[in-house]
Amino acid sequence: MVLLDLEGSFVEQKIDFQSPIPYYVQLLDFLRENIKQGVWRPGDQLPGEHALCEQYDVSRTVVRQALSELEAEGLIVRRRGKGAFVAEPKIIESLAQKLTGFYQDMSERGLRTIAITALAYVGKEPSRHPCGKLLAELCDVVVDNAVPHGDAVVDVPGFAQNVAPLSTITGCAIANAMVAETVKMLLERGIEPPVFRSANVTGGEAHNARLLAQYRDRIHYL
């Protein structure tokens, strides 16, 4: 494949078999650049594995590894029996912007942002973000995890600081309480929500695998 570089010159995409850089990394860079430059736009289907093997003169193992990396980066989605497609821009892309930009993104999508944070820090600690605001000052709904300033609560004699932070425990408890209430509300509306089961119970892994396959294009880290 041939692309135009920033100066308008033609650049051929060709694997350098003499380079110490792994083949799949070279291919990954080429495919990523094609998406970045709009050769393949959101929703477009990428060439199949066989076509990529022939085009770049590499093995199917190399192609599959490069595609897996692209999928992990959220640049493509793979659909069973159909192939790989350029992913639609995700909300997560905006996380590289400042927090106020993220909040604006949520508002434009009609979504309300929820923060689980410690209100004990408000007024005691300055923001470490360039926007100058704390998380509690940016979100629509703020849930106080009720941990004290400093988080850790156990005083070990002879040690200068407390240990054993509480935010991990309270954060998990609050998040799971939200999940339980969300499931209840959805059921009241006649909607059965997709919820993972413990993989340690019979049928749990199969149930979870079905959900992962069904919602694969919406789970960014897959």
Token pair in block for residue 58: 């590499």
CATH number (domain holding residue 26): 1.10.10.10
Is 197 among the domain residues?
no
Is 75 among the domain residues?
yes
Is 168 among the domain residues?
yes
Give the per-residue pLDDT at 132.
81
Residue 77: HSE in the Cβ half-sphere, 13 Å Cα cutoff: 18
Give the per-residue pLDDT at 93.
46
Give the per-residue pLDDT at 107.
74
Cα(2)–Cα(119) distance, rounded to whole angstroms? 55
Same domain, 111 and 154: yes
Give the per-residue pLDDT at 113.
85
Give the per-residue pLDDT at 92.
43
Give the per-residue pLDDT at 172.
94
**Could you identify the residue written with the tokens 């508002």?**
107
**128 contacts 143 by C-beta, under 8 angstroms:** no
Cα(75)–Cα(42) distance, rounded to whole angstroms? 9
**Number of folded domains that form the chain:** 2
Successive 10-residue mean pLDDT values, the chain, 222 residues: 40 80 88 88 91 92 91 87 84 48 71 89 83 84 93 94 93 95 95 92 91 76 52
- Phi and psi dihedrals of 215, rounded to 5? -115, 20
Strand partners, 134: none
* Burial of 152 (C-beta count, 10 Å sphere; 0-12/13-18/19+): middle
Give the per-residue pLDDT at 12.
66
Same domain, 64 and 99: no
Same domain, 123 and 77: no
Give the per-residue pLDDT at 8.
38
Is 177 among the domain residues?
yes
Same domain, 100 and 170: yes
Among the candidates 59, 86, 113, a domain finishes at: 86
